[in-house]
Amino acid sequence: MKAASLVVTTFNHESSIESVIDCALLSEPMIDEVVVVDDASQDNSAKVAQDFLARAKLESRIANFVVMKNWVSKFETFCDDLGIRRSRNEIIILVQGDMLLRDKNFVGRAALFLEKHKSLFLISGRGSHSRSDLVSDLEKHGPSSATSSLLSTVLAPVIKFFLATEKRESAKYRELSPVDEAAIFPSIDQFRLTKRAGQLGDLFGSPLEEQKVHENNRVWSSELVFRGPLVFQKSKYLELGGFDKRRFFLGFDDHDLAAKGWLEKRWICGYLPSLTVQILEAGATRKSRNLRQQLNFRMRRLARHRLYRSSSLNQFMKLRPDQLPIQDILTLDILPKYEP
């Protein structure tokens, strides 16, 4: 069995990073290396990860680990790319610092699909969808929505920082939606109609039945996929040049990578159901940062405003419908035996 590398980007996840890594190691026998990239955390995330992984190596749970820390925020795209390039295995599983992978051998099942279906490039444990699902998000949060006013770029985070100060202490918990099996495990007819499959939107984190997830032998391939978790082959990632750090730094880079794979290689992406839980109280890699980091974020976003126009994702969004990947369901003849 091939070995896999777990790549985790973290920001102020001191309370959860050990659980995230430990849970993945308990669930995934293929993982023999862990790479953690700390994006200028203000807590002890890097030290907690370092100490835990040192113990894990002594106990022979892993063969290798790397912990790196940025002293200035570089954000998600840079950190993920750095971690992937520093890893040494062909199979990569990319997770965020607030996600628990409780799926026994998700990476193993994904690796079998990647081996059988040579055109399959990215496998998401969260969901696959069409480009139309991105339109509103790109308009609100994407690089193309960045303002060209330097004054508003500087003032906006300052105002936001002080207005949000009192709200930080009372973070709200998100209610999990009930399982909608028709949306998470759609039939081929429904999939081609809706062009969506998986735990998208409010369905993320829905309590799926473990046996049904493990006995599923299908990948729903569509136009684009979401992070969380994401499995792929490092060689193909490098062949495409990896995440586009010049045009993206926080969000949409996963969609851009899928778009690039299709445009340049006719590689496709898909969704394989997984048991993934988000630690809501831990926040996310994209959670609120201090004033200096928010200013850094705004300046980076402004700098990428015009560059987005030449991105693979922007080109993909302009393709004719007949030029897009078709919705399909890929299958495997044999799956690893399910063991509760």
Q: pLDDT tens across 37-52, in order?
A: 999 999 999 999 999 9
* pLDDT of 192 higher than 80: yes
- Residue 336 has φ and ψ, to the nearest 5°, of -55, 145
pLDDT digits (tens, 9 = 90+) for 16-26: 999 999 999 99
CATH of the domain at 132: 3.90.550.10
What does the pLDDT average to over 320-328? 93
Lowest pLDDT segment from 225-234, 242-251, 253-262, 331-340: 331-340
Note the helical H segments in 10-72. Answer: 17-27, 45-58
Q: What is the pLDDT of residue 282?
A: 52
Q: What is the pLDDT of residue 163?
A: 47
* pLDDT of 147 higher than 60: no
* pLDDT of 156 higher than 70: no
Q: What is the pLDDT of residue 103?
A: 84
β-strand pairing of 120-124 with 230-233: antiparallel
* Count of structural domains within the chain: 1
Q: What is the pTM of this model?
A: 0.84
Question: Is residue 325 in some structural domain?
Answer: yes
* pLDDT of 289 higher than 80: no
Cβ-contact 230, 253 below 8 angstroms: no
Average pLDDT over the chain reads 83
Question: Is residue 36 in some structural domain?
Answer: yes
Question: Is residue 243 in some structural domain?
Answer: yes
User: Residue 237: which residues within 8 A CB-CB, separation 6 or more?
Assistant: 84, 92, 257
Question: Is residue 239 in some structural domain?
Answer: yes
Assign 305 a pLDDT band (cuts: 50, 70, 90): low
Question: Is residue 178 in some structural domain?
Answer: no
Question: Is residue 143 in some structural domain?
Answer: no
Question: Is residue 232 in some structural domain?
Answer: yes
Note the helical H segments in 59-102. Answer: 75-86
Question: Is residue 269 in some structural domain?
Answer: yes
* pLDDT of 66 higher than 90: yes
Residue numbers of the domain that contains 251: 4-137+191-331
Assign 154 a pLDDT band (cuts: 50, 70, 90): very low
